Structure 1
């Protein structure tokens, strides 16, 4: 099924980004276009108004002089562009017009016409306005040239201004993007708005770095300091178990102490790994199916006294699945999800399914209210109103481990009730093709 919305989003994400320099240049050009366009419109209207007034005044003045000379018995003295028509000489297209000024077609050309009847009989003066048309064409040509020059000047100024204004912003953005040290941010000595922005970025980055360092150091220090007492507890539990040989009830208790100390030691190691950069701890291939069986065994005591059956199903093509991850971290993610299902299921089933590329853990427990589903992976978020036996950190830790390993964890609500968590592993990297063999090389060449 086609997803038009998804295609639109992908198209937008692949489109070339609009830089600040481009936006500044576009603003300059747009402003120039608007200003020049306004001046051009005004110039055209002014030129048209001047043309009308000059022609009208010239025709009126010529007609007045013609009437005066006619009354004095003198021959008419007309400008070269003005033509006089009387009586039968008046062209058919100009006949029958009342006295006044007009712009009418004559021989396919628009001419200015003045009709007068001062001499008893109507007469017509026409002005082809060729000289003014040449002047007008020259003016419009100069306006066009000025318009192009203004655009070129605006583009030049836009580039210069963008380089002067945008270059510092670009340098600051590059420093932030490349993870430069806050003290290396540019413009910190500047007194303008860019200096304020640079100093704010530097202060914020330093504060975040100090916070992250404190969290990393705290996690690492606590994990490191706990390893020694846990090792002592584990050794003491093993010695106690050996000395209680023959007392089955006490041996079982000692075994529980030993197992709990061992599990806690593994969790401490995992938290220590979680505080480090993923690229620095390595990711050996870890078999998922044995890991699921191990975490199920650890969680079975939570089901004692409950009418709950926990089962494991593995697809044939996923039984040998291995993921690149430290087993301590993978055990935290899987174990917390299984423990969560066992803890909140009083009767029914807990089903763990290993499928291609993911683990599905589904239960028939109390489920998760819709109001908190969007925040279920937040720290200290508790589904049980009383918070019995839960600090609200298990799922938050799962989320953190998943992000650390480049996995994804999601929550689904089965139709029959309960919860379903899906832990999807990162896709395996594509195999790298071997370099092409030189045709001249031989398998047996040294």
Structure 2
């Protein structure tokens, strides 16, 4: 499983864990070595003292010359009886623990006779406790120092990476005149990463520029034939010899021409990708655009046997980009028309938002977000579209700082809601 921790924190954690392992092993090694050396030295000292007592003091009939913490015992000497607690001690050096007391014991046996020296450990334990406290304090201090040092080093190591990430994240990097990133960094891993970003961003800039030029050129060139089609429809509409069906066809062509003109204008503004130019295309209120689109789509819905309702639940006097708002409402109503076989479609206006409700096939919950992606169509695709209508709606809303979302409408259907104030 990939860690979700920030890289800087992971570096600090790795630094601290490494110190924990190294310092822990070092501290335990010190304690073990000290304990081993202590036993070795004590056993040698007791062996030397026992030899002096047996070979010198007892032979001269003197009492053993020992300090207050060391006692002498012998199984064959009534004056130095072996206490019961040490009777089972093994030959050689050993340690006997009884309750809170601990003793070092050195025992020698010869011809069923045994002699031993017993030394209390309280002095050694006091020294060991001091040593343990010093080692523990050093261990804790090393961990704290590792955390502080690891944080400083991680910040220093991550500084160029964080700087590069902020530069790449900045929107001006997609500008055609944006400077290269790599010259600002040394020839190391970060510099290589910056060079890779330069290469990728360069390709992205080229693709975006090529897309803008293509969209702008195509949209611009389509204006002339669309104007010809629109003017031709106006002339045909004035011909008195047309029957009802022919006039309906002329009106249909005129509506399609007007829709294409709006799309061309939309693509031109989006291709420029400059918010200050989004005022092009005129401005109008939400109610005006909704009434216009309602009168345009209501006849088509009635032809399909659907009811259409335009409901105003709140007044909104704000002015919005006419081209963008018309395109959004048109695409949502078209989508509702294609995916609704019976029932009704409602365009509901509120203060600062609107929504389109339908009684159509609905959208599964796991597919609702995907419906705003290009070339994605519902499972029961209708019409001849390519799945670009909702993608265009999403793109326009992102350009205008609007918000669009979709949800289910029980018992059957969908609701597309657009908030015009973010």
TM over 0.5: yes
1:290 alignment partner in structure 2: 288
Q: Does 1:165 align with 2:157?
A: yes
Pair 51,411 (structure 1): closer, same or farther in 2 beyond 3 Å: same
Kept in 2: contact 1:358–1:422 (CA 8 A) = no
Q: For 2:374, what is the secondary structure of its paired residue?
A: coil
Give the number of aligned pairs. Answer: 405
TM-score, normalised relative to structure 2: 0.77
Q: Deviations over 1:69-112 (max 9, x none)?
A: 355334245343523467887799x4453152443569x75443
Q: Does 1:38 align with 2:25?
A: yes
2:189 corresponds, among 176, 189, 193, to 193
Q: How does 1:281-430 map to 2 (within 5 A)?
A: 281-282=277-278, 286-303=284-301, 305-315=303-313, 318=314, 320-322=315-317, 325-355=320-350, 358-365=353-360, 367=362, 375-383=370-378, 388-417=383-412, 419-427=413-421
The answer for unaligned runs of 5 or more in structure 2 is: none
Pair 149,270 (structure 1): closer, same or farther in 2 beyond 3 Å: closer
Q: Does 1:97 align with 2:86?
A: yes
| Residue 326 (structure 1) shift | 0.7
Pair 363,19 (structure 1): closer, same or farther in 2 beyond 3 Å: closer
Q: Deviations over 1:353-377 (max 9, x none)?
A: 3345543323344555789655433
Kept in 1: contact 2:374–2:391 (CA 8 A) = yes
Alpha-carbon distance in structure 2 between the residues aligned to 1:348 and 1:156: 68
Deviates more, 1:40-49 or 1:321-330: 321-330
Deviates more, 1:263-272 or 1:360-369: 360-369
Alpha-carbon distance in structure 1 between the residues aligned to 2:168 and 2:288: 44
Pair 180,248 (structure 1): closer, same or farther in 2 beyond 3 Å: closer
TM-score, normalised relative to structure 1: 0.73
Q: Does 1:227 align with 2:220?
A: no
Kept in 2: contact 1:97–1:115 (CA 8 A) = no
Alpha-carbon distance in structure 2 between the residues aligned to 1:163 and 1:351: 57
Kept in 1: contact 2:287–2:316 (CA 8 A) = yes
2:168 alignment partner in structure 1: 176
| Residue 129 (structure 1) shift | 4.9
| Residue 336 (structure 1) shift | 1.2
Q: Deviations over 1:218-261 (max 9, x none)?
A: 2222222222333344344445545x368675776655554543
Alpha-carbon distance in structure 2 between the residues aligned to 1:360 and 1:24: 49
Q: For 1:275, what is the secondary structure of its paired residue?
A: helix
Pair 138,187 (structure 1): closer, same or farther in 2 beyond 3 Å: farther
Alpha-carbon distance in structure 2 between the residues aligned to 1:412 and 1:306: 24
The answer for unaligned runs of 5 or more in structure 1 is: 1-16, 429-446
Alpha-carbon distance in structure 2 between the residues aligned to 1:367 and 1:66: 103
Alpha-carbon distance in structure 2 between the residues aligned to 1:334 and 1:255: 20
Alpha-carbon distance in structure 2 between the residues aligned to 1:374 and 1:18: 28
